[in-house]
Chain A
Amino acid sequence: MADRIYERPAIVRNTFGAMNKVGRRGDLSNHAEIDGVSIDALCKEFGSPLFVFSERRLRARVREAREAFARRYPSTTMCWSYKTNYLDAICAVMHQEGSIAEVVSGMEYDKARRLGMPGDKIVFNGPAKTETELRRAVAERAIIHADHLEEIYLLEKIAAETGATPTVGVRVSLDAGIYPRWDRFGLGLENGQAMQAVKRIARGGKLALGGLHTHIGTFVLEPAAYGRAAAKLADFATEIEKSMGVRPTHVDLGGGFASTNTLATQYHAGAIAPGIGDYAEAITSALIAGASGTGTLPRLFIETGRALIDEAGTLLTSVVATKRLSTGKRAIVIDAGVNLLFTAWWYRLNIAPARSAEAFVEDTAVYGPLCMNIDCIRESVPLPDLRPGERLAIHPVGAYTVTQSMQFINLRPAVVMINEQGTPELIRRAEVLEDLTGPEVLPERLKLGATTSGATPALKIAREG
């Protein structure tokens, strides 16, 4: 008789306009394993929560991207955007796959050098490079894209002092017909600032002109926008060559390609995002058309980050508790919070139970473990009746989550990568208290049990009394 699995009794009112049981089934695919490795076993071995990366998916995606460009264009350099995910193991996979490094700070630069990337295989971007960082980049022949005129003046100064002739490119801000237009990075193309910067480099006598760089936005769902940007850069390159007789060493279309994540403001599921091939087609056909005047195709740099790694990352988490809110809505508390999932602010992350879902699901609020009202991963997601200890997979979280995660209320969990043979390997251990307290300095006088000279007046009175 008792052959049916017990679920807590539940009932929901059918509301007009949402009466469709199959309506949201798409959210309910179960995630019992990743690359053949059981989610439950992973949590048991490495703890929960746990970031898991699939090396297989990551490599497949990078190769897909590389081939998408190689099929259409003679010379493309893939540049791994460190900020998207600068775990050593991830960067190493990217470098093995032929990507050079793209960094936006001295810290990222150091990290790339530490991994063995030579300076001339590091693209150095960013709006706030310091003199010290630039001196090193110049000495090591890094590929520098200047963000503003002050940076160019600084590079001229370094050149004068060191006798070097650094090759310096220019970051260009342009109107690619998308909204919002990213205006704060680089020098304006339409208002002539970019041309002014190029003239300064080419005619200042201290620097050599490098590449032209632009990065039009983030999670851009319209490949045609890249076509427009590429066409503008190609025209700009032609104009430079005609007016100054120098040719930019390369054009860099940056990143910003969408992954299959779903923006909170998006109606459609992320799965309809354009493929890498769509972006490659838009960019390369514009460059090929743009070069018809000069007959030479510039080397192309691509810095896409999110589109390569988002899918490869999953955050495993466990249910801590379930409750009903005062409205009758079901809620669960899980052991992973927004301190690990900054992207939960902007994306509707998929949350799927490890076991296959029963037919009956309820809209459920998913809260993290932080004692903060803001710690909400999803306001509402259809989930079956879940029990404490049950595993959930949050996906895709490969991009930005690890690099933006922070110690807040809790330490950060371990990160594993499942290698191509299907074996999970630890790539970052779970943090211990020492990781948090290591850099701290507690003045002697504040230590518990220190002499009374440091005690507060109130404490003195209490003692004297």
Chain B
Amino acid sequence: MPTPDLPYDPAELRTLALSDTGFIFDPRTGHSYSANATGLATLAAMKDGLDPAAIATKLRAEFKGGAAVEDDVAGFVDLLRELGLVRARSAP
């Protein structure tokens, strides 16, 4: 269910194939990517429609030692936008 206040559209990530190895494939473009463990977890959570705050909570629960996790998640979403994996969303 798309939530309009997310800074990304989970639907855009639906076709993305994520592997536990960190190997990611975008069948729409044929590009593949490599992510670290937190990157992979963030992507998976984004696919599930979690908002950035919920993703940060999840990362804190699954990994130890995170400090400014919210900023890191925001930076990651920017990076996905830079890579063309998510598009900028116009404000509702």
The answer to whether A360 touches B22 (Cβ under 8 A) is yes
Contact assessment for B83 and A328 in the assembled complex, using a CB-CB cutoff below 8 Å:
yes
Whether the pair B34, A21 counts as a contact (CB closer than 8 A) is yes
Of A2, A13, A328, A358, which is within 8 A of B36 by CB?
A358
Q: Are B33 and A13 in contact (CB under 8 A)?
A: yes
Contact A3 B64 (CB under 8 A): yes
Q: Which of A4-12, A189-197, A308-316, A452-460 binds B?
A: A4-12
Q: Does B50 contact A (CB under 8 A)?
A: no
Shortest CB-to-CB span from A385 to chain B, Å, is 7
Instruction: Point out the residue from B33, B38, B61, B78 that lies within 8 Å of A7, measured CB to CB.
Output: B38
Give the residues in chain B near A12, CB-CB below 8 Å.
33-35
Contact present for B31 and A8 (CB under 8 Å): no
Asked if residues A5 and B79 are in contact (CB atoms below 8 Å), the reply is no
Query: Could you tell me if A8 and B61 are in contact, using CB atoms closer than 8 angstroms?
Result: no
Q: A271 contacts the other chain (Cβ, under 8 Å)? A: no
In chain B, positions 59-92 with a C-beta closer than 8 Å to chain A are: 59-66, 69, 72-73, 75-76, 78-80, 82-83, 85
B64 & A8 in contact (Cβ 8 Å cutoff): no
Q: Assuming A2-B61, A328-B82, is B72 touching A8 (CB within 8 A)?
A: yes
What are the residues of chain A within 8 A of B42 when measuring CB–CB? Answer: 9
Cross-chain contact A9 with B31 (CB below 8 angstroms): no
- Report yes or no: B75 in contact with A7, Cβ–Cβ below 8 A: no
Say yes or no: A11-B31 contact (C-beta < 8 A), given A4-B62, A6-B59, A360-B36: no
Inter-chain CB contacts under 8 Å: number: 85
Chain B facing A: main interface SS: helix
B69: chain A residues within 8 A (beta carbon):
6
- A71 to B80: give the CA distance in the assembly, Å: 62
Across-interface contacts of A1 in B (CB, < 8 A): 61-62
Q: How far is the CB of A395 from chain B (nearest CB, A)?
A: 26
> What's the least CB distance linking B11 to chain A, in Å?
19
User: Of A10, A13, A358, which contacts B76 at CB under 8 A?
Assistant: A10
Residue A63 is within 8 A (CB to CB) of chain B in the complex: no
A14–B63 touching, CB < 8 Å? no
Query: B76 near A9 (CB under 8 angstroms)?
Result: yes
Across the interface, which residues of A come within 8 angstroms of B76, CB to CB? 8-11
Would A4 and B63 be within 8 Å (CB), given that A10-B76, A11-B76, A328-B83 are in contact? yes
| Proximity string of chain B (26-44) to chain A, C-beta cutoff 8 Å, 1 when within and 0 when not | 0000011111111101110
Closest CB in chain A relative to B74 CB, distance in Å:
10
B62 near A324: Cβ-Cβ < 8 Å: no
Complex: A11 Cα to B75 Cα, angstroms = 11
- A5 adjacent to B33 (CB under 8 Å): no
CB contacts (< 8 Å) of A13 on chain B: these are 31-33, 83
Q: Which of A324-382 contact B (CB under 8 A)?
A: 324, 327-328, 358-360
Near A by CB (< 8 A), chain B positions 1-58 give 22, 24, 31-39, 41-43
Closest to B69 in A: A6
Complex CA distance for A9 and B80, rounded to whole angstroms: 11
Type the 1/0 row for A383-412, where 1 means its CB is closer than 8 Å to any CB of B: 001000000000000000000000000000
Encoded as 1 (CB less than 8 Å from any B CB) or 0, chain A from 8 to 24 comes to 11111110000001000
Smallest beta-carbon distance A10→chain B, Å = 5
Contacts of B63 in A (CB 8 A): 2, 4-7
Shortest Cβ distance from A358 into B: residue = B36
In the complex, which residues of chain B have a beta carbon less than 8 angstroms from the beta carbon of A385? 36
- Nearest-CB residue, chain A, relative to B25: A14
The one of B31, B39, B75, B85 in contact with A324, judged by C-beta atoms closer than 8 angstroms, is B75
**Which chain A residue lies CB-closest to B72?**
A8
A365 CB → nearest B CB, Å = 15
Closest A residue by C-beta to B66: A6
**Across the two chains, which residue of chain B brings its CB closest to A2?**
B64
**Judging by beta carbons under 8 Å apart, are A4 and B75 in contact?**
no
Distance of A6 Cα from B41 Cα, bound (Å): 11
Cβ–Cβ contact A6 & B39, under 8 A: no
Query: Knowing A5-B65, A9-B73 touch, does A328 contact B33 (C-beta < 8 A)?
Result: no
Contact code string A141-174 (vs B, CB < 8 Å = 1, else 0):
0000000000000000000000000000000000
22 A-B contact pairs sorted by A residue (CB < 8 Å): A2-B60, A2-B62, A2-B64, A4-B63, A5-B63, A7-B37, A9-B36, A9-B41, A9-B59, A9-B72, A10-B36, A10-B38, A11-B35, A11-B36, A11-B76, A11-B79, A11-B80, A12-B34, A14-B32, A324-B79, A358-B36, A360-B22
Rank and list the top 10 A-B pairs by shortest CB-CB distance, nearest first.
A360-B36, A6-B63, A6-B66, A9-B39, A328-B82, A9-B76, A9-B38, A11-B35, A6-B65, A2-B64
- Can you name 12 extra interface pairs (CB under 8 A) apart from A8-B75, A11-B80? A2-B64, A6-B64, A6-B65, A6-B69, A9-B36, A9-B38, A10-B76, A11-B39, A21-B34, A328-B82, A358-B36, A359-B36
